[in-house]
Amino acid sequence: MEKRILVVDDDQVVGKSFERVLTNKGYRVDTALSGREAFEKYAGADFDMVFTDLRMPGQDGLEVARRIKEMNPWLPIVVVTGYATQQAEESAKAIGVAEFIQKPLTPSVIEEVAARIMGRIAAVTAVPTATATVVEAPENIARNVALFFAAPFIGLAYIVAFPFVGFYMIVRSGMRLALGKK
């Protein structure tokens, strides 16, 4: 199912950038140019996440975040700003925003934040499935017991062989450099 994201920013270019980046990653993106427009869109839709700019005319991003959190405390909100202050970040965290990130944003940052937040949602909302009882065949049990007892010896072999292999790799690399090969 397609995840729906609301982007609130008074700069139309920023909203279009979020839309372009996140639409290519399979999200459905709605944009709003003000807090008022955001609440109009929010009232008629079910969003999975909100990105909001901090500084906007009328209602700022903190007010948008506060009002949305009052309506839906579990909805993750990310505050985005080019004017970060410690006080603004603390206020945002007190409201319960998921993240507070600074502009300028790259497409990879936008993708990463959206994926991280959506990953948290998926982890929290995952429904545990019934676990089936697995009965192993006798040959699997014997193999597992043999591996259990062999593991320390295999580890010891790696410890003993590691210095020799490392020395060989260093000498080989040095020889290649000396002979001018890549």
Each domain of the chain, given as residue ranges in start order, spans 4-125, 131-182
Q: Which residue has tokens 């405390």?
A: 73
The residue-averaged pLDDT of 65-77 equals 90
Q: Would you state the pLDDT for residue 138?
A: 62
The percent of residues in the chain predicted with pLDDT above 90, rounded, is 27
Q: Would you state the pLDDT for residue 140?
A: 66
Who's near 141: CB < 8 A, 6+ residues apart? none
Q: Write down the mean pLDDT value for the chain.
A: 82
89, 86, 66: which is closest to 77 by C-alpha? 66
Q: Packing angle between helix 61-71 and helix 86-95, nearest 10 degrees?
A: 10
- pLDDT tens-place string over residues 102-118: 888 899 999 999 998 88
For residue 96, give the H/E element and its range. none
Residue type for 177, please? L
Residue type for 87, please? Q
Domain 4-125: homologous superfamily in CATH: Response regulator (3.40.50.2300)
Rounded CA-CA distance 6/2 in Å is 13
Rounded CA-CA distance 165/81 in Å is 51
pTM to 2 decimals?
0.64
Say if residue 139's pLDDT is above 80: no
